[in-house]
A = this chain, B = another copy of it.
Amino acid sequence: MAEMNTRVLLKRRPVGAPVPEDFEIATAPLPVPEDGQVLVRHRFVSLDPYMRGRMSDAKSYSAPVAIGGVMEAAAVGEVVESRDPRFQPGDSVMNSMGWQQWAAVPAGKLIKVDPTEAPLSANLGVLGMPGLTAWVGLEDIGQPKAGETVVISAASGAVGQVAGQIAKLRGARVVGIAGGVQKCAFIMEALGFDAAVDHRADLNAQLDAACPDGIDVYWENVGGAVQEAVFPRFRDFGRMVMCGMISQYNIAPGADAAGAPAGPNLGPVVRKRLRIQGFIVFDSGWQRYGQFRAEMLGWMNAGKLHWREDVVDGIEKMPQAFIGLLKGENFGKLVVKVG
C-alpha cells in the first residue's frame, strides 16, 4: 500500500478550551508538487499557544484556519522531490504547512536550514519562531540594561526560556515565574536565572523576596493572576513586553477581548512612565532572522545558551498535546515528532 499523509484537520471551532473532538485525524494520498513547489517530509511539527487564535473566527491579526483545513504550524523536514531549482532532495527546510506528515510547498515559502548547526527540531524553538520572538521583543520593547531586574512569565516555556537567557546575557538580573518545583529548579539550575517564583505558591511573597527593588522589565506570556501580582511592582520607566496572555486564550481569543476579565488600572502608567507594548513576531521579526540566528548560534557554540524540548512522538497525539500546552502541561518547547 502506498504511503499516506496523516494530517490533523480543524473539525469545528472550539468553545472555550479545545477538546479532542474539535480535531479530526485524517489520511490522504501524498501531495504531488506542481511546478515551483517542493515536496517535504516533515520530521517535527511545532505546537505553540498562538494556534488557539487560529482556531477561532474572532477578529485577530491573522485569518483563521478554515473548518476542514489542516491546522497551521511551523514544521521542519527534508526535501523529497523538488520542482524548483533552489532546492534539492535531502535539503533540510522549515515551512508553515502544519499538522501533517507531508506537504507540497511553494519554494518561496520554504527556509533552508543547516542541519550541522543545530538539531533539526531546534529550528522550531530556540532558533525558530519562539526564539526569534524572545529576541525581537527584547530588542524592540524590553531593552534590558545591565543591572535591571527582568521578570519572565512562563519562564520554562519556548519563548520564556530564551527571553530570560538573552536578558541575562545582556547583563540583567532575571527572575523567572513558572508552575511547580521542577520547572523552577530547571530555570535556576539549567538556565542560570537569578531567582524563580512558583506561581502555584504565594506569588506576592515570592515576588517580594525575588524583586525587593521592583521590576524594570516584565515579559508577559500569561496574564491573569501573575499579571496582577507583577503590575504594581514596576519601577519608574518600566517596560511590559506584551507577548501573549495564555491564561485567557480559551475565553477571549479575539482582538476585542470580549469575555475577558478586567485589567490593571492604568494610573501607574502615567506616574511611573511605564511602556506597555504588544508585538507579533510575524510583523517584522523574520526580516531580522539572519541577525538573530547569527547571535544565537554564537551563544550556543560558546555554551552560553541552553534549551529544553518536550518531544511528543506521533502525529495522532497532536490534539492532546496542544490541549495540554494551553494548560501548561508541557515542560520546555513542545514539538511533535511526526516522521
Q: Contact at B266–A245, with CB atoms within 8 Å?
A: yes
Q: Contact at B252–A61, with CB atoms within 8 Å?
A: no
> Which B residues are CB-close (under 8 A) to A273?
61, 277-280, 283
Flag whether A119 is at the interface (Cβ < 8 A): no
> Which B residues are CB-close (under 8 A) to A271?
53, 60-61, 254-255, 278, 280
Q: Contact at A223–B267, with CB atoms within 8 Å?
A: yes
Q: Which of A252, A274, A278 has the most CB of B within 10 A?
A: A278
Q: Contact at A255–B268, with CB atoms within 8 Å?
A: yes
> Which B residues are CB-close (under 8 A) to A188?
none
Flag whether A2 is at the interface (Cβ < 8 A): no
> Which B residues are CB-close (under 8 A) to A278?
268-275
Flag whether A32 is at the interface (Cβ < 8 A): no
Q: Contact at A267–B257, with CB atoms within 8 Å?
A: yes
Q: Contact at A269–B255, with CB atoms within 8 Å?
A: no
Q: Contact at B270–A242, with CB atoms within 8 Å?
A: yes
Q: How far is the CA of A40 from the CA of B190 in the complex (A)?
A: 65
> Which B residues are CB-close (under 8 A) to A242?
266, 269-270, 274
Return the chain B residue nearest A256 by Cβ. Answer: B232
Q: Mark A221-265, 1 if CB is under 8 A from B, else 0.
A: 001000100001000100000111100100010111100111111
Flag whether A185 is at the interface (Cβ < 8 A): no
Q: A256-B232, A262-B264 are in contact. Are A272 and B61 (CB under 8 A)?
A: yes
- Closest CB of chain B to A263's CB: distance in Å? 5
- Closest CB of chain B to A231's CB: distance in Å? 9
Q: Contact at B270–A265, with CB atoms within 8 Å?
A: no
Flag whether A51 is at the interface (Cβ < 8 A): no
Q: Which of A260, A261, A271, A279 has the most CB of B within 10 A?
A: A271
- Closest CB of chain B to A220's CB: distance in Å? 8
> Which B residues are CB-close (under 8 A) to A264?
257, 262-263, 266
Q: A272-B255, A274-B277 are in contact. Are A263 and B260 (CB under 8 A)?
A: no
Q: Contact at B269–A277, with CB atoms within 8 Å?
A: yes
Q: A274-B278, A277-B277 are in contact. Are A236 and B267 (CB under 8 A)?
A: no
> Which B residues are CB-close (under 8 A) to A262?
262-265
Q: Contact at A266–B232, with CB atoms within 8 Å?
A: no
Q: How far is the CA of A262 from the CA of B232 in the complex (A)?
A: 13
Interchain Cβ contacts under 8 Å between A and B, 23 examples: A60-B271, A61-B236, A61-B273, A223-B266, A223-B267, A242-B270, A243-B270, A248-B265, A248-B267, A255-B268, A257-B268, A260-B265, A262-B264, A264-B266, A269-B276, A269-B278, A271-B280, A273-B277, A273-B279, A274-B276, A275-B278, A276-B277, A277-B277
Known interface pairs A227-B266, A256-B268, A257-B267; 14 further A-B residue pairs with C-beta atoms within 8 A, sorted by A's residue number? A242-B266, A242-B274, A245-B267, A248-B265, A248-B267, A252-B267, A255-B268, A257-B266, A257-B268, A262-B262, A262-B265, A263-B264, A271-B278, A277-B277
Closest CB pairs A-B (n = 10) = A262-B262, A270-B278, A260-B265, A257-B267, A269-B278, A276-B276, A257-B265, A255-B271, A275-B277, A242-B269
